[in-house]
Structure 1
Amino acid sequence: MEREDFRMKENKLSRRSFLKVGAFASAAGMLAAAPAAANAAAPNAAKAAEEENGLLGVFGGKPKYVFLFIGDGMGTAQIQSARFYKGTVENNGAVVEGELSFTQFPEVGSVTTYDSTSFCPDSASTATSIATGHKTESGVINMCPWTRDVPYETIAEKLHAQKNYKVGVVSSVNIDHATPAAFYAHQKTRKNYYAIGKELAVSGFEYFAGGEFQKVNGDGTGPNNHEIAAQNGYNVVTRQADAAALKAGAGKTLIIAEALADGKAMNYAMDAAAGEWQLTDYVRKGIELLDNKKGFFLMTESGKIDWACHANDAAASIHDVLEMSNAVQAAVDFYNAHPNDTLILVTADHETGGMAIGYKTTNYDTFLTNLTHQKMSYAKFDSTYVKGYIANKTPFEAAMADVKANFGLTLPTDPDAASAGKLLLTDYEVENLRKAYERTLEVGAASQKEMSQQDYELYGTYIPFSMAICHTINHKSGMDHTTYAHTGAMVNIYALGVGAEKFRGVFDNTEIYHKLAELTGVQ
């Protein structure tokens, strides 16, 4: 489909969707889709269309409220698998893919992600490119490559200092992880966690929310990151009820999620308990606390998309993409109230896992409904079940009863093997699971240098049994991955609002910063 037709298709979907993203989204999509010659021949008609929709002054204007969403590791396959998973089958058998809030935006572009050292970059360097417009080495945060002695000022810092915008940074992983840190910190290595936490405290930004600091106590000789933030005027909130009670005018705020999971990050969306705050809640609270007449900039990272894809957990990735879509919808709701002043961007820093929709043994078919059998992420399965298997030397058949309950994978010898709604394992799959289970009891997770090439290809550095389970249900669903690391694939960027048309086409990730700087007028 040609690009112009695609934008018109997206615009039609937007108009008939429940989102109702507003007249500007529709007008922007149609004007962008119209041939350039027609626009040149009828400038008065374009002006009249703007006036008719109450949009005069929007095009060419400056956004006062800027939302930047980064789906860490979220390539096109991660997005498309979530759309297929959310989709429906009509009575005639036709498959209708589901829409995400941002896939209905009127403008879309494609972004290159390489850094100074690799075609397969990391989050520190790619977030640096987005935040500052500069390339750097993998693992470096907002410092020049090679010598690492010149810091780069971020778009968030510039908007804060030059335009008096309030600034917020949200992440579903650790608040000092590479992507959120790239908007307020400047370090030779992303592993300087305690120093990154200290930079957070002196940033002056008005709102932070996410998972716990990774080295909250540093070397133990000084104040912890919570204390440093409090000393610099932050309300440090660690209980969800206290976060919910915060109101506009609360002052500088740092919220650490009360419910923490693997790596002291927030839970995967599919693991979150009823009523537990997820990414959407922190975005809504950020809007409440940041909203003001001068403007604000809110960067929100869905970091566990990346973590799920590192572990080749397709279901966990899909659920976190869907939750990110919900979080973007909170921004769209704000846009609907402020269409002449708001810009929303949704992109990724890089792709993770080499996710593919399609697998060898399913040929041209996919069965993503099989993923509905998965009730928890690999990480929660590890902490809830596998830890006990290792301690108790649980028999394989007993462990497989839990696998059946939580993933639907059923042994051929199981009494329910013939029942509907179960994913019956083949003898080959059972043997693979058994070998992985035996290695789990004997070795557990291991570093790459301690593994054979074959074992690493099978399990990465994760618990072998959990990886074998994820790979098995992925393959039965028609999904696969090429790596436990990042790839060099391009990623998409979706734009809605003031200046959205600048983000169409193909460009490098550094241009995201330059386009934002041009739109907002920072130097």
Structure 2
Amino acid sequence: MNKLLTLSLLASLTATTAIAQDIPQSDNQWFIDGQAQIAARLATQQNTNRAKNIIVLIADGNGVGTNYATRLYQGQKKGNYGDEEILPQEAFPNLALVKTYNTNGQTPDSAGTGTAIMSGVKTKAGVIGVNENVNRGDCATVPGNEVATMNEIMAAMGKATGVVSTARITHATPATSYASSADRNWEESVPEGCTTQVDIAQQLVEAIKNGTVDVAMGGGRRNFIGTDVTDEEGKTGRRADGVNLIEALKAEGVQYAWGDESFGALNLDGSKPILGLFESSHMQYEADREGEPSLAEMSSAAIKSLQAAGGDNGFFLQIEAGRVDHANHDGNLARAVEDGVAFAETVAMVDALTDDEDTLIIVTADHEHAIAFNGYCGRGSNILGLCMDIDNAGEKNTGTPLLAEDGKPFTVAGYLNGGGSVMREELNWAGVRGDLTEEQATDGDYMQQALIPTGAGEETHSGEDVAVYAKGPYAHLFDGTIEQNVIFHAMNYAANAQ
């Protein structure tokens, strides 16, 4: 068939598979798979039920690039090339791109982005649960500028609510579920003379007492006990006021868990609130996890308890994979993608435990990192390893590393800045790269090479868009490119739809 005839056929195609079969590539598997995807999309119906339950899952720092790395990593762990893998959230029928900037920052921080998702307004970097009129670090600007959180709004509707994180439960993103603060760092104390707010840990305690939060699980035990108190794992607290907030909640009948055993003993019948604090600071990376529940296990327990507590009114739950962000900051892609896979497993578990008919599930990130990917790597190059050459006669890479102009190999992934910078003072800022083997690059502790050196060697966020994936009631509201605060408005509409 000549090219002109082929173009003529393509121009006259309709949506029917029968006509599509008349073109020369119709028996190609890529073509067949494409047709199947179109058929599936045509069969998709909009769900306009009221959302009884809403679950928002946030993988901190898991932008489109980090998500791509996780996809390849998960697929390669299965023995495949990696790029054909589909993460659970990527199978959701609705998605959009999300603009993540803060009102005073082209590159955002998690306090401002979390507030946008949980309260429906964009705000400044570093502040929690307040609008853009608050100046970071200035207590006096807080009164009158507080915003209601999704947990507060859903609790007022009679729903049970919760928050789960692998970071400190008082850290920026989870704190946007229940707190208002002029500074995200005021987790266990506020500056002397600040009388307009209490610290974030105290705000969580009050939220649990007043029924705004029914389940809270994560790390951050140190922020709930005094400096003279030693916790179950032998670490002292940080509260200078000496108040033991854990004991105060236990006295109110709140269930408390700090490790695997006490977590397994929790009563999930919804009759009592739950506080789980599984580390003094952040919880362990998934690659190192020992003696504490996984993100999926915490989320499963939270859903079961909230389902029981909320009854016919339903529930709202924020789930954060906080340590994807921390591994990226460390330039340690191996741990970032391992936690990314744990997040994907949590998404799949949440989907399995709920019903699409009455549960809106939203999967997103608060921001991306300065991660970057090199070319031109042959297919199947280890996402953690060296960029291998393309095999022009086949599919899989040749197994021979590509070399840069300096005669040295380079990894598939790297960072634009961070502790792995080749532009370091001890190298006289010369940009000298060392030799690197596949074995070294794929070690779990390897710090990816980076370009720009940053303060304290910590890689930064980036300002690029992230994705949001959704399924369930009114998931079709996620479409196109949206401002981050629109996520809140879609959730709120779905919960109140007539």
After TM superposition, is the score higher than 0.5? yes
Give 1:234 deviation, angstroms: 2.1
In 1: Cα distance, 2:102 partner to 2:241 partner: 36
Could you tell me which residue of structure 2 aligns to residue 282 of structure 1? Answer: 298
Aligned pair partner of 1:124 in 102, 111, 117? 111
Question: Residues 162 and 216 of structure 2 are in contact (CA less than 8 Å); yes or no, is this contact kept in structure 1?
Answer: yes
Aligned pair partner of 1:229 in 249, 270, 279? 249
Could you tell me which residue of structure 1 aligns to residue 336 of structure 2? Answer: 317
In 1: Cα distance, 2:484 partner to 2:439 partner: 32
In 1: Cα distance, 2:133 partner to 2:101 partner: 16
Aligned residue type for 1:286 = A
Query: What SS does the corresponding residue of 1:200 show, helix, strand or coil?
Result: helix
Q: How does 1:263-342 map to 2 (within 5 A)?
A: 264-273=281-290, 276-291=292-307, 292-335=311-354, 338-342=355-359
Provide structure 1 residue ranges, at least 5 long, that are not aligned to the other structure: 18-25, 33-49, 51-57, 374-420, 431-444, 459-464
Give 1:507 deviation, angstroms: 0.4
In 1: Cα distance, 2:110 partner to 2:353 partner: 28
Aligned pair partner of 1:251 in 272, 276, 287? 272
Question: Residues 471 and 480 of structure 1 are in contact (CA less than 8 Å); yes or no, is this contact kept in structure 2?
Answer: no
Question: Aligned pair 1:77/2:58, yes or no?
Answer: no
Give 1:219 deviation, angstroms: 4.0
Aligned residue type for 1:512 = I
Question: Residues 72 and 349 of structure 1 are in contact (CA less than 8 Å); yes or no, is this contact kept in structure 2?
Answer: yes
In 1: Cα distance, 2:430 partner to 2:479 partner: 38
Could you tell me which residue of structure 2 aligns to residue 200 of structure 1? Answer: 204
Instruction: Tell me the matched-pair count.
Output: 395
Question: Aligned pair 1:239/2:227, yes or no?
Answer: no
Question: Aligned pair 1:347/2:359, yes or no?
Answer: no
Aligned residue type for 1:301 = E
Could you tell me which residue of structure 2 aligns to residue 386 of structure 1? Answer: none
**TM-score, normalised relative to structure 2:** 0.69
Query: What SS does the corresponding residue of 2:361 show, helix, strand or coil?
Result: strand
Question: Aligned pair 1:488/2:463, yes or no?
Answer: yes
Question: Aligned pair 1:143/2:130, yes or no?
Answer: yes
Q: How does 1:85-124 map to 2 (within 5 A)?
A: 85-87=73-75, 97-124=84-111
Could you tell me which residue of structure 2 aligns to residue 157 of structure 1? Answer: 152
Question: Residues 174 and 214 of structure 1 are in contact (CA less than 8 Å); yes or no, is this contact kept in structure 2?
Answer: no
Could you tell me which residue of structure 2 aligns to residue 371 of structure 1? Answer: 384
Question: Residues 82 and 380 of structure 2 are in contact (CA less than 8 Å); yes or no, is this contact kept in structure 1?
Answer: no
In 1: Cα distance, 2:78 partner to 2:240 partner: 60
Question: Residues 350 and 487 of structure 1 are in contact (CA less than 8 Å); yes or no, is this contact kept in structure 2?
Answer: yes
CA RMSD of aligned residues (A): 4.2
In 2: Cα distance, 1:265 partner to 1:495 partner: 28
Give 1:293 deviation, angstroms: 2.1
Aligned residue type for 2:61 = G
Q: Deviations over 1:405-433 (max 9, x none)?
A: xxxxxxxxxxxxxxxx999x99x999xxx
Aligned residue type for 1:211 = G
Aligned residue type for 1:369 = N
Give 1:202 deviation, angstroms: 1.1
Aligned residue type for 2:343 = M
Q: Deviations over 1:35-85 (max 9, x none)?
A: xxxxxxxxxxxxxxx7xxxxxxx7222111111000100011111111112
Distance of aligned partners of 1:95 and 1:102 in 2 relative to their CA distance in 1, 3 Å threshold: closer
Distance of aligned partners of 1:270 and 1:129 in 2 relative to their CA distance in 1, 3 Å threshold: same
In 2: Cα distance, 1:270 partner to 1:334 partner: 25
In 1: Cα distance, 2:313 partner to 2:150 partner: 16
